[in-house]
Chain A
Amino acid sequence: MTLPGIPLLLQSIVSGILIGGVYGLVAIGLTLIFGVMKIINFAHGSFMMLGMFTTYWLYVLLGIDPYLSLLLTIPLLFLFGLLVERFLIDKILDAPEHNQLLLTLGISLVIENLALFLWSPNFRTIDVSYANKATTLGPVMISFPKVVAFVFAIFLTTVLYYFLKNTDLGKAIRAASEEKEGALTVGINLKKIYYIAFGIGTACVGAAGTVAAPFFYVSPQVGGVFVITAFVVVVLGGMGNFLGALIGGLIIGLAESVGAAIIPGQLKQFIIYFIFILVLLFKPAGLFGKANA
């Protein structure tokens, strides 16, 4: 272990918080789907990859700015998630958990292998002018695309929070996640709530992919990098807890980044799993309990 100097520490804190916002957004999609449907979506990472590739190709083929492409990736991924739920996930909602696991894992394998086949395993980057743009604040360098990603993640989370809190459809989604029979008795169509929630979850992770694309590599297997982290975040924040996922994302981002400054080399993933195990041992319902936001 090495003790980092103050500047390095500050730098890692800032970087950690910024990437933590993206982790939060990925995790929010996952936790929303889990909260409503009690399904662990192992295809989440492949959805993120689709978001990234959509942005990549829109940029390469049509010259559409990555941030502008959000206007397309969000509705496209929403629709994609909706269809996946409607025609695949819907069939196994009452099936035993291992069948659900096999299906979502299977979906991710199909999507990733299709991506490998179509686009090769190469790492690609989006060479927008602002990809490496940064400002310095004292000893700390602040990357422009990471700030945008962070701000956007917070913004989307806020919009979603407002939607769940204040609209009838949002309330119906919360109702369905709390009490299914109660939801049925007031006339909520659970099948519809499921595909909408799954669509929203997919749109969230797709949007996270889009805003990460300017500063991260794009490849068929990139989703796994984020999603393993997101699983930890979801457990940390409390399964199904919306705000818990955002705060959990920030905590994991910080822990990972500061940990990397303290512990050398490849050990930084160790920090995340260490936190994961601690949470499972001592606070299995997550830091913020099981309650829905």
Chain B
Amino acid sequence: MFLLKVNNIDVFYGDAQVLHQVSLTVREKEIITIVGVNGAGKSTLLKTIGGILKAANGEIWFMDDRIDLLPSHQIVDKGLIRIPEGRKIFPTMTVLENLELGSYLPKAKVKRSESLEKVFDLFPVLKDREKQSSGTLSGGEQQMLAIGRGLMSLPKLLMLDEPSLGLAPLLVKQIFNTVREINVQGTTILLVEQNVFNALDMAAEGYVLENGRIVLEGKSQDLLTDEYIKEAYLGV
């Protein structure tokens, strides 16, 4: 059963076409990764799936619903949650307020205290900093908050846009472990990364995006041993 299906979407910024005929499938419980260099169109793809950009052509399906024409808040309500590149937390609001806003919509709000507990279990440091304004958190803590806020929205599919960006190696490892943990607990993951080795290592399948086109897709093990990937992305 697929959870998300993107069929041949084209996306433009003004006259400039940034995505060309992109298709991908995410099945339930899987971790899928999209890798690509700066400017390949990874964030554009996630934003389009999340409904804050609109595809000029093509379709996007989430479970049984066509979602590419829906406004973003309705997509969030269905459990398709995006954790944006650069975190986009609310800097003057406290950690707790940020998390509460993750459960802004009615369905998530009902489970607010339950979800909070889960997030604090996953990231005890957020519990310690509950009352702190989130702009004063360290980069790693902000990323945890962004993920925690996403979890508060009760994701069925969690899309993460470069969660390891700008973090020290130890933290990168921790974030990847957390993503794995979230997946083990039952959430499907669509992970965008430039950290190609770690991402493929964790995912079941991968897509390689270049200049707005999917140039390669397949099982992660196959991609990891692919000569082109090794040369162009893994530097071996």
Contact = CB atoms under 8 A, between A and B. Distances in A.
Contacts of A183: 90, 101
Interface stretch (B11-19, B31-39, B75-83): B75-83
B104 A178 contact: no
A175 B100 CA distance: 11
Contacts of A172: 101, 104
A73 to B, nearest CB: 31
A135 interface: no
Interface string A175-203: 10011011111111101000000000000
Contacts of B93: 171, 174-175, 178
A179 B71 contact: no
Contacts of B104: 168, 171-172, 186-188
A142 to B, nearest CB: 38
A187 B72 contact: yes
Nearest to A176: B90
B73 A179 contact: no
A187 B153 contact: yes
Contacts of A179: 88-91
Nearest to A191: B71
A277 interface: no
Contacts of A292: 92
Contacts of B52: 181, 184
A178 B90 CA distance: 6
B152 to A, nearest CB: 8
Interface string B85-114: 001111111000100111011001100000
Interface in B121-155: 149-150, 152-153
B92 A185 contact: no
A291 interface: yes
Interface residues of B, number: 30
A187 B52 CA distance: 11
B50 interface: yes
Contacts of B84: 181-182, 185
B89 A187 contact: no
Nearest to A180: B88
A289 to B, nearest CB: 10
Given A168-B109, A175-B93, A184-B52, A189 B88 contact: no
Interface string A248-283: 000000000000000000000000000000000000
Contacts of B72: 184-185, 187
A105 to B, nearest CB: 28
Nearest to A165: B97
Given A185-B83, A187-B73, A187-B153, A171 B101 contact: yes
B101 to A, nearest CB: 5
A186 B92 contact: no
Nearest to B159: A185
A238 B91 CA distance: 17
B94 to A, nearest CB: 10
A178 B88 CA distance: 9
B88 A182 contact: yes
B89 A186 contact: no
Nearest to B107: A187
A189 B149 CA distance: 17
A226 to B, nearest CB: 29
Nearest to B50: A185
B90 A187 contact: no
Interface in A130-176: 168, 171-172, 174-175
Contact of A185 (B88, B97, B108, B109): B88
A172 B71 CA distance: 17
A32 to B, nearest CB: 15
B77 A187 contact: yes
A187 B105 contact: yes
A175 B92 CA distance: 9
A183 B71 CA distance: 13
Contacts of A189: 71, 73
Nearest to B47: A181
Given A186-B104, A189-B71, A189-B73, A175 B90 contact: yes
Given A174-B93, A185-B76, 6 more contacts: A171-B97, A178-B92, A181-B52, A187-B76, A187-B104, A188-B101
13 contacts: A171-B104, A172-B101, A175-B90, A178-B92, A179-B89, A182-B88, A185-B83, A186-B102, A187-B73, A187-B77, A187-B105, A187-B153, A189-B71
